[in-house]
């Protein structure tokens, strides 16, 4: 399969812009379709400016069929990254998340199914959020896939994940691609839909498709002004504004943080390797780091004296823990992440130290959730 021209939707965003630059360095011709959302970046964003004169840029909306037709002209591959991404925000901005994430993807697939085109491969950005609480072990019941945590438990300060059968505390396991799909947020539901739509229609019309279930992506270039997603950016903006960091639950909830360069490398393997066709892959570092550790590491990197407050508050729809089993992507695509959290957070903090201090809008985002009854 000969690939030259690559369309990246959401290509002016965090992952998209970094992917664009790496693909250009490898000799590909890149087109970007992006609406330059004010919440994420806008026209003055360093991410957009980094690609502005290096790609064919189309300012457009994935919900607009005409924009899709313009962007798809003479393309070989579509990397579909454009999406609304805030887990908490998705629980009350329901129509917008469904409209952008699901309808936008449906329009792409409708065009590919019913019109002439040159597309040879589809890559869809999925998410670890589709696993919900992920894979666990119960001493009595074996491998289990717990439901979302109960409001009544968390009100009492019990944030542990329970076995869905006997209700004992369950032990976290690395989540593999065969694990149960049962998202606990509207965002996760939309990513599940995107993934299944692309893989199903791709197979039916003979276009190889691949889905990447990204864990928590971080690194230089991540939006410092978006209060809805990106815990390292949110904490960094609060620290730089001299505001205390409030950590939810007991601070021991954890995530698999994967550095942006590793995410880009994995995605390019999906574009270039035939072995990726019709497969789904976890993309993470394969280790868990708790939120309190993140906050303390950032304080240290910025030599800050702000307080870290473990609040006991929680957000409905948040998972407790998750980290990726990378066996499949290592075996099929030869991908191994290179940047561990200790080195990655240093690189990220060095970048933040050279950025303009952004306005801290985080308290406003929490007030929105409180009004909707989603923050306890």
Could you tell me the two tokens for 49? Answer: 């400016």
Q: Which domains does the chain have, with CATH numbers?
A: 5-135+174-371 (3.40.50.720), 136-173 (no CATH)
Angle, alpha carbons 60-190-132 (nearest 5°): 145
Burial (Cβ within 10 Å: 0-12, 13-18, ≥19) of residue 296: middle
For the chain, report the end-to-end CA distance as a whole number of angstroms: 52
Residue 97 among the catalytic residues: no
Quick one: pLDDT at residue 219?
Answer: 97
Decide: 47 and 34 in contact? Cβ < 8 Å.
no
CA quadruple 78, 44, 238, 341: dihedral sign? positive
**Which two three-digit tokens encode residue 27?**
């000799």
H or E element in which residue 58 lies: strand 56-59
Query: Rounded to whole angstroms, how far apart are CA atoms 189 and 362?
Result: 24
* Active-site choice (48, 136, 187, 228): 187
Q: Are 107 and 62 in contact (CB under 8 A)?
A: yes
CA atoms within 13 A on the CB side of 39: 11
Query: CB–CB of 264/19 below 8 Å?
Result: yes
The β-bridge relationship of strands 121-127 and 77-80 is parallel
Measured CA to CA, the distance from residue 98 to residue 191 in angstroms comes to 10
- The series of mean pLDDT values per 10 residues for the chain, 376 residues long, is 94 96 98 86 81 96 98 98 91 96 98 98 97 97 96 95 98 98 95 98 98 97 84 95 96 98 98 98 98 97 97 90 97 98 98 90 85 86
Q: Which residues pair with 229 in a beta bridge?
A: none
In contact, 67 and 58? CB cutoff 8 Å: yes
Tokens of residue 220, six digits: 């230089």
How far CA 335 is from CA of 161, 193, 261, 329, in Å, comes to 30, 26, 12, 6
pLDDT at 38: 75
Q: Which two tokens stand for residue 36?
A: 């330059």
Q: Which residue bears the tokens 């197979």?
A: 203
Collapsing DSSP states into helix, strand and coil, what is residue 139?
coil
Are the CB atoms for 230 and 222 separated by under 8 Å?
Answer: yes
Beta strand 5-9 with 29-34 is: parallel
């Amino acid at each position: 399969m000969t690939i030259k021209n690559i369309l990246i939707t959401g290509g002016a965003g965090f992952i998209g812009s970094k992917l664009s630059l790496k693909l250009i360095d490898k000799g590909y011709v890149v087109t970007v379709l992006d609406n330059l959302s004010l919440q994420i970046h806008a026209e003055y964003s360093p991410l957009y400016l980094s690609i502005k004169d290096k790609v064919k840029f189309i300012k457009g909306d994935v919900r607009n069929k005409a924009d899709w037709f313009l962007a798809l002209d003479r393309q070989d591959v579509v990397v579909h990254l454009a999406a609304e991404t805030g887990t908490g925000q998705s629980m009350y901005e329901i129509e917008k998340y469904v409209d952008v994430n699901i309808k936008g993807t449906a329009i792409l697939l409708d065009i590919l199914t019913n019109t002439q085109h040159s597309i040879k491969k589809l890559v869809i950005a999925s998410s670890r959020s589709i696993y919900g609480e992920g894979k666990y072990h119960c001493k009595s019941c074996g491998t289990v896939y717990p439901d979302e945590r109960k409001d009544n438990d968390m009100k009492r300060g019990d944030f542990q994940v329970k076995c869905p059968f006997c209700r004992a505390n369950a032990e976290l396991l690395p989540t593999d691609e065969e694990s149960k799909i049962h998202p606990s947020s509207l965002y996760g539901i939309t990513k599940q839909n995107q993934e299944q739509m692309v893989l199903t229609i791709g197979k039916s019309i003979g276009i190889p498709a691949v889905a990447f279930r990204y864990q928590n992506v971080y690194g230089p270039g991540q939006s410092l002004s978006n209060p809805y997603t990106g815990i390292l950016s949110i904490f960094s903006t609060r620290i730089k504004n001299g505001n205390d960091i409030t950590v939810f639950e007991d601070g021991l909830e954890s995530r698999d943080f994967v550095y942006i360069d590793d995410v880009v490398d994995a995605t390019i393997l999906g574009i270039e390797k035939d072995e990726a066709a019709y497969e789904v892959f976890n993309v993470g570092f394969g280790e868990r780091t708790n939120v309190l550790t993140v906050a303390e590491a950032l304080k240290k990197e910025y030599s800050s004296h702000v307080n870290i407050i473990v609040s006991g508050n929680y957000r409905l729809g948040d998972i407790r823990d998750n980290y990726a089993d990378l066996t499949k992507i290592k075996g099929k695509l030869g991908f191994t992440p290179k940047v561990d959290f200790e080195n990655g957070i240093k690189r990220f903090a060095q970048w933040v130290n050279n950025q303009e201090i952004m306005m801290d809008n985080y308290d406003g985002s929490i007030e929105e959730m409180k009004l909707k009854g989603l923050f306890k």
